[in-house]
Amino acid sequence: MILVWLIVIPLAGGLVAGLVAGRSQASCRVVALAATILGFLLSVMLWVRNYAHVSLWQQRNWLAEFDRPWIAGFGIHFHLAMDGMSLLLIVLTFLLGIASVLVSWREIDDGVGFFHFNLLWVLAGIVGVFLAVDLFLFYFAWELMLVPMYFLIAIWGHEHRVYAAVKFFLFTQLSGLLMLVAILTLYFAHHAATGVYTFDYAELIGTPLSPRVGLLVMLGFFVAFAVKLPMFPFHTWLPDAHTEAPTAGSVVLAGLLLKTGAYGMLRFVLPLFSEAAHRFAPVAAALAIVGILYGAIMAYGQTDLKRLVAYTSVSHLGFVLLGIFIGNRWALEGAFLTMIAHGLSTGMLFMLVGMLQERTHTREMDRLNGLWQTIPRLSGAGLFFVLASIGLPGLGDFVGEFLVLLGSYRSSVWLAALATVGVLCSTFYGLKFVQRAFHGSNVNRWSLADLSGREAAIVGAMVVLVLWLGLYPQPVLNSFEPTVQHLEQVVGPPSMAALSTGARTIPVILSPSRSAGAKDPANGSAAVLGTSPGALQRYGGKR
């Protein structure tokens, strides 16, 4: 039942906020803030309460579940379920929701009620996406988050907002329709095989599909998620949408909507079509690499700060995609951590750019020079999150990206090498951002107000969280662990055979100890060290 509350709170909050706005804008903001904080507390409480036993997850035994028949005739259920992965993503959703409400406090002053209504309904849609395990319900939530987002961009956006909003809508809608076709194909294929009409996730796992159909259906899902992710070459909606959206919109887009794509890959593409996903993995990984490098270099070429940050998302989500399709434990854990860390660091970068724009009414780097002299605290915060974004060790993004790279090295040395070059390229845009916006001399004589108390509170909280993720990511990794185990059960051990020219030369020393390490993290290293000599001897024999 608590799962329903997680969706109802933002829905109801949005309605109430929209209704009271007529009377007073302040009360509308307070209602929206209260709704997001309530959701946040609820989800954090769930996390704390379940933290001890998230790892006792067995198949079909979710942390929490809610199942009611909805349209029984077609086998459609209102079926929500939560595991460690969705739990953490929901925590992130509400956290960024709070930040979005706060950051819009001054920025939005017309249509306040409708704005908050849309904002909270997007959040509700996102929570729905993270919770739904009935494919029909999932598709419903997937579309639900699209429409309010469209309004957010089209009404409160910047100069080219309508173009951007329509582009965003078309990309996601078209790819979403592909997914609908794929869902229906799967639905009928399952009926053909078992005689049961159902949209239920757990039932549909293992539906027999011919390789050709399997690949096509998988691609239907894959494209929908890849557009959201966004994967090269489906990324072009993103710079426009991010740039034109209001700050809160950019935060929700970058921090959350992109994550729904990655979530979909992890939740649906890999388990439902493990076979097809395996065959497709080399292509996906190659596109991920292209995205990493292309995104980084494109970001370097931009002069609009928001566009720059938008392209960094292409680069970072490339790491997520790479990790997902490399599919070994390091890569998966890394991909997930990158999702969370990217949500925080890039979300914050968007907020900071939004704050700059609020003050200077421009996002062009050439007009912002030497801001450090007038707003040192905001600039310092900018530096901090840029550093997080370029993967400085000790901050959140590093851990995720490092694990992805570590995992991908196992599959293919060359992939890992190229992706590592991607980390190097991130330095280009990161330093350019800092140099052009904050450093340099204040030639335009800006004299601006530094962070207000409200802004400083957001920044401070995020700094702490990013440091925490960077220095002690274990709670997040632990919560994700069961999902990885589940993936390993369903998908089987990863084998990117087609890709791994390097893998043949790399002996898998760790594999005997991997299960041991997984069961008891505390004894993991002992287990590794204990078993590796034997494994090494085998390897020595091979050599």
Partner 1 sequence: MFHLLWLVPALPFAGAAILMLFGPRMSRRPAAWIGCGSIGVSAAISILIAWRFLAQPPAGGSYTQQLWTWMSVAGFQPGIAFYLDALSLVMMLVVTFVSFFIHLYSVEYMGDDEGFSRFFAYMNLFVASMIVLVLGDNLLFLYLGWEGVGLCSYLLIGFWYTDPKNGLAAQKAFIVTRVGDTAMALGLFLLFHQLGTITIQPLMQAAQQHWAGGSPYATAAGLLLLGGACGKSAQLPLQTWLPDAMAGPTPTSALIHAATMVTAGVYLIARTHVLYSLSPVAQTAVTVVGLATLLVAGFAALTQDDIKRILAYSTISQIGYMFFGLGVGAWTAAIFHFMTHAFFKALLFLASGMVITSMHHEQNIFKMGGLRKELPLAYWAFVIGGCSLAGVPLVTAGFYSKGLILWGALSSPRGSETLWALGVFGVFLTALYTFRLIFIVFHGPCHHKPSQKTGMTMGVPVIVLCVLSLVGGFVNLPAWLGGHPWFVNFLGAALPATAEGHPAFGELASEGLVSLALAIGLVAAWYFFLKRRELSEWLASTGLGRLLHRWWYNDWGMDWLYDRLFVRPVGWFARANKGDAVDLVYDGAAAVTRLGWRALRTTETGRVRWYAAGLLVGTVIFVMILALL
Computed from CA positions of residues 342, 344, 350, 352, in that sequence, does the dihedral angle turn out positive or negative?
A: negative
Between 91 and 335, name the residue whose CB sits nearer to partner 1: 335
Least distance from partner 1 to the Cβ atom of residue 528, Å = 4
Q: Which of 12, 184, 297, 498 binds partner 1 (CB under 8 A)?
A: 297
**Distance (Å, rounded) from C-alpha 161 to C-alpha 153?**
6
Between 43 and 302, name the residue whose CB sits nearer to partner 1: 302
Least distance from partner 1 to the Cβ atom of residue 532, Å = 4
Between 319 and 330, name the residue whose CB sits nearer to partner 1: 330
Least distance from partner 1 to the Cβ atom of residue 265, Å = 19
Q: Which of residues 327-366 bind partner 1 (CB under 8 A)?
A: 328-330, 333-334
Q: Please, where are the H alpha helices in 52-159? A: 84-107, 112-131, 135-144, 146-156
Between 284 and 425, name the residue whose CB sits nearer to partner 1: 425
Between 86 and 328, name the residue whose CB sits nearer to partner 1: 328
Q: Which of residues 239-258 bind partner 1 (CB under 8 A)?
A: 239
Between 13 and 261, name the residue whose CB sits nearer to partner 1: 261
Between 105 and 539, name the residue whose CB sits nearer to partner 1: 539
Q: Which amino acid is at 134?
A: D
**Distance (Å, rounded) from C-alpha 245 to C-alpha 454?**
21
Between 218 and 491, name the residue whose CB sits nearer to partner 1: 491
Q: Which of 260, 274, 302, 412 binds partner 1 (CB under 8 A)?
A: 302
Tell me the HSE value of 58 on the side-chain side, using a 13 A CA sphere. 0
Q: Which of 25, 38, 380, 468 binds partner 1 (CB under 8 A)?
A: 380
Q: Which of residues 411-440 bind partner 1 (CB under 8 A)?
A: 413, 416-417, 420-421, 423-424, 427-428, 431-432, 435, 438-440
Q: Tell which residue, 299, 302, 296, has the closest CA to residue 421.
A: 296
Angle between helices 413-433 and 274-301 (to 10 degrees): 30
Contacts of 34 (CB under 8 A, 6+ apart): 13
Going residue by residue from 151 to 190, which x/- string records binding to partner 1, judged by CB under 8 A?
----------------x-----------------------
Q: Which of residues 499-528 bind partner 1 (CB under 8 A)?
A: 506-507, 509-510, 513-514, 517-518, 521, 524-525, 527-528
Contacts of 71 (CB under 8 A, 6+ apart): 136
486 binds partner 1 (CB under 8 A): no
Q: Which of 394, 492, 493, 534 binds partner 1 (CB under 8 A)?
A: 394
3 state DSSP class of 61:
strand
Between 76 and 419, name the residue whose CB sits nearer to partner 1: 419
Between 127 and 418, name the residue whose CB sits nearer to partner 1: 418
Q: Which of 82, 229, 348, 403 binds partner 1 (CB under 8 A)?
A: 403
316 binds partner 1 (CB under 8 A): no
Q: Which helix (H) or strand (E) holds 81?
A: strand 76-82
Partners of 134 in the beta sheet? 200
Region of 54-62, 268-276, 350-358, 535-543 interacting with partner 1 (CB under 8 A):
535-543
Size of the chain, expressed as the number of residues it contains: 543
Instruction: Return the number of other C-beta atoms located less than 10 Å from residue 483's C-beta.
Output: 23
**Distance (Å, rounded) from C-alpha 83 to C-alpha 3?**
11
Q: Which of residues 206-245 bind partner 1 (CB under 8 A)?
A: 232-233, 235-236, 239
Q: Tell which residue, 187, 188, 146, has the closest CA to residue 167.
A: 146
Contacts of 172 (CB under 8 A, 6+ apart): 146, 227, 228, 237
Q: Which amino acid is at 510?
A: L
Q: Which of residues 461-480 bind partner 1 (CB under 8 A)?
A: 471-474, 477
Q: Cα dist. 181→221, 223, 460 in Å?
A: 9, 12, 45
286 binds partner 1 (CB under 8 A): no
Number of chain residues interacting with partner 1 (CB under 8 A): 75
